[in-house]
Amino acid sequence: MSSKVVTRFAPSPTGLLHLGTYRTAIFSYLYAKKNNGTFVLRIEDTDKERSKKEYEENIIESLKWLGLDYDQFYRQSDNLDRHKFYLEKMIKEGKAYISKEEAKDGTGEIKELVRFKNPNIDITFHDEIKGEVKMNTTDLNDFVIARNLNEPLFHLAVVIDDFEEGITHVIRGEDHVSNTPRQILIQRAIGAPTPIYAHLPLVLGADKLKLSKRRGALPITSYKDMGFLPEAILNGVAFVGWNPGTDKEIFTHDELVKDFDLSKVQKSPAVFNEEKLNWFNKEHMKLLSTEEVNKNILENLPENMRNVKLVPIIFERITKWGDIKNMVSVGELDFFFKQPEYDKSKLIYKNVQSSTLNISENINKAISVLEELNENNFTKENVKEVLMKIADSLESRGELLHPVRFALSGLDKSPDPFVIAEVLGKNETLARLQKAI
Ligand code: GLU
């Protein structure tokens, strides 16, 4: 038997899937790639009413964005012929049977269902995460495996498809543990080998309840829209319930493939922390080249604000590209482009008893040293050097630095005055200081 690893991600396209679901995709992908194996995407769309094309498209877009390339693609609804083939075979061999039953909807209508002939035995299987799992199948009765020969139900379709697609490792959410004995019974009935199972512990939200869309868990594409980096989401989500056992937290795609280890997946439920995702994103932003940072920041600014000198100031204040739009919309950057209006009493450095007179005196001193600087040398370093000389001669540096900063920005909180001066340039800086006086 070939030992090539084949894993799959088998989502049902019945909604926009959230991070918790993609963690399953990430682990299946990493496990396959780590072992030079094959990663399969199978869209489980046999529930005709609830499955929608747009959700399938969203799954494909999300995997692509995350960089989880699949080697094979299947759609379960394309496999109805082989489902039927096995159903008929099982019926012929007495392992399943057609049962005529009254519909439960109260219409009294008689329906034909296909039931599995349950041998009522103990099923034991090894789970890579949970260890040995044992269940008695008697309580499952002769469970239904198809509505009719053309409409297979979940357990049957999963087992046949996993078998036909050569899946060796079924990595999926813990909610499927209780389905596994039924699926193993079907495997035995059709002569399929039992794959290796790994059931991943639940993902909980900050409130320690199961992460769900209803309680605020977002689809992957929302993170894309918010301007997160795909590598950061990949890294951050991989760390929900897994870590390499070292202090290293920042991993690129290739490093994850290299270091991923199913045996290090934690056994208890994992808590997803949205804040931590911002941290991962910022760390990944720091790995980008200056050109990439410049490009992304400038692209997210309105055209009239695209000044490359703003890049470091903005970079320091954001955790994702989408934050730039917020900075712009609340007017946080406006003072770079127009003279601020402000309450002049705020020019006074608040912790120091100083008269208005020496504030204007101090600003005047600043003007005279800045006038000496050449327009071309008006850099934050040079501005800092000349201003600090004056500031250091005062009782408190704030007596100079506060009024200068405030005169330039008109804001209680802003970047330091040297940085602002460089962005504004010599003329505008002097004009604002004059106005303050
Ligand atoms: N289609 C199933 C789901 O979305 C997953 C089936 C499986 O992984 O075995 O939950």
User: What is the residue-level pLDDT of the chain in tens, covering all 437 positions?
Assistant: 457 999 999 999 999 999 999 999 999 999 999 999 999 999 999 998 999 999 999 999 999 999 999 999 999 999 999 999 999 999 999 999 999 998 888 888 898 999 999 999 999 999 999 999 999 999 999 999 999 999 999 999 999 999 999 999 999 999 999 999 999 999 999 999 999 999 999 999 988 898 887 777 899 999 999 999 999 999 999 999 999 999 999 999 999 999 999 999 999 999 999 899 999 999 999 999 999 999 999 999 999 999 999 999 999 999 999 999 999 999 999 999 999 999 988 998 875 665 566 888 999 999 999 999 999 999 999 999 999 999 999 988 999 999 999 999 999 999 999 999 999 999 999 999 999 99
Residue pair 335/408 in contact by the 8 Å Cβ criterion = yes
The number of beta carbons lying within 10 Å of the beta carbon of residue 155 is 19
Ligand 1 centroid–CA 165 distance in Å is 15
> Alpha-carbon distance 32 to 257, whole Å?
9
Residue pair 197/126 in contact (Cβ under 8 Å)? The answer is yes
Distance CA 298, CA 130 (A): 49
Q: Which candidate, 269, 278, 258, places its Cα nearest to that of 320?
A: 278
| Contact call for residues 204 and 272 (beta carbons, < 8 A) | yes
Mutate which of 40, 56, 158, 160 for ligand 1? The one with the most ligand atoms within 8 Å of its CB, which is 158
3-state secondary structure of 39: strand
Whether 40 contacts 6, CB under 8 Å: yes
What are the DSSP E strand ranges found in 149-233? 151-152, 169-173, 196-200, 203-204
Q: 169 alpha carbon to ligand 1 midpoint, in Å?
A: 13
Which pLDDT tens digit goes with each residue over 34-89? 999 999 999 999 998 999 999 999 999 999 999 999 999 999 999 999 999 999 99
> Angle at CA 134, nearest 5°, toward 129 and 139?
130
How far apart (Å, rounded) are the C-alpha atoms in residues 245 and 421? 47
131-136 and 144-148 strand pairing: unpaired
Q: Whose CA is nearest to atom 6 of ligand 1?
A: 10
Q: Is residue 12 within 6 Å of ligand 1 at its C-beta?
A: yes
pLDDT at 331: 93
Measured CA to CA, the distance from residue 150 to residue 364 in angstroms comes to 88
Buried b (16+ CB within 10 A) or exposed e, 322-359: ebbeebbeeebbebbeeebebeeeebbbeeeebeeebb
Contact 171 CB / ligand 1 (< 6 Å)? no
Is this structure's pTM higher than 0.85?
Answer: yes
β-bridge partners, 91 = none
Residue 170 region, left (φ>0) first, then alpha (ψ -120 to 50), else beta?
Answer: beta
Nearest CA to ligand 1 atom 7: 10
125: left (phi over 0), alpha (psi -120 to 50) or beta: beta
State in Å: Cα 183 to ligand 1 middle. 12
Q: Are strands 110-116 and 38-43 parallel, antiparallel or unpaired?
A: unpaired
Specify the residue with its C-alpha closest to ligand 1, atom 2. Answer: 11
Return the pLDDT at 356. 62
Q: Residue 296: count other Cβ atoms within 10 Å of its Cβ.
A: 19
Look up residue 412 and give its amino acid: D
**Which amino acid, one-letter code, is at 154?**
F
Could you give the CA distance from residue 287 to residue 10 in angstroms, rounded to a whole number?
33
How far from 357 is each of 190, 371, 400, 412, CA to CA, in Å?
A: 94, 21, 12, 21
Task: Please give the pLDDT value at position 216.
Answer: 75
Q: Which of 75, 172, 210, 212, when mutated, tests ligand 1's pocket best, judged by the most ligand atoms within 8 Å of its CB?
A: 172
The answer to whether the CB of 158 is under 6 A from ligand 1 is: yes
Angle 218-224-227 from CA coordinates, rounded to 5°: 115
Q: What is the number of other CB atoms lying within 10 angstroms of the CB of residue 80?
A: 15
CB-count burial class (<10 Å; 0-12, 13-18, 19+) for 17: buried
The helix (run of H) or strand (run of E) holding residue 19 is helix 19-34
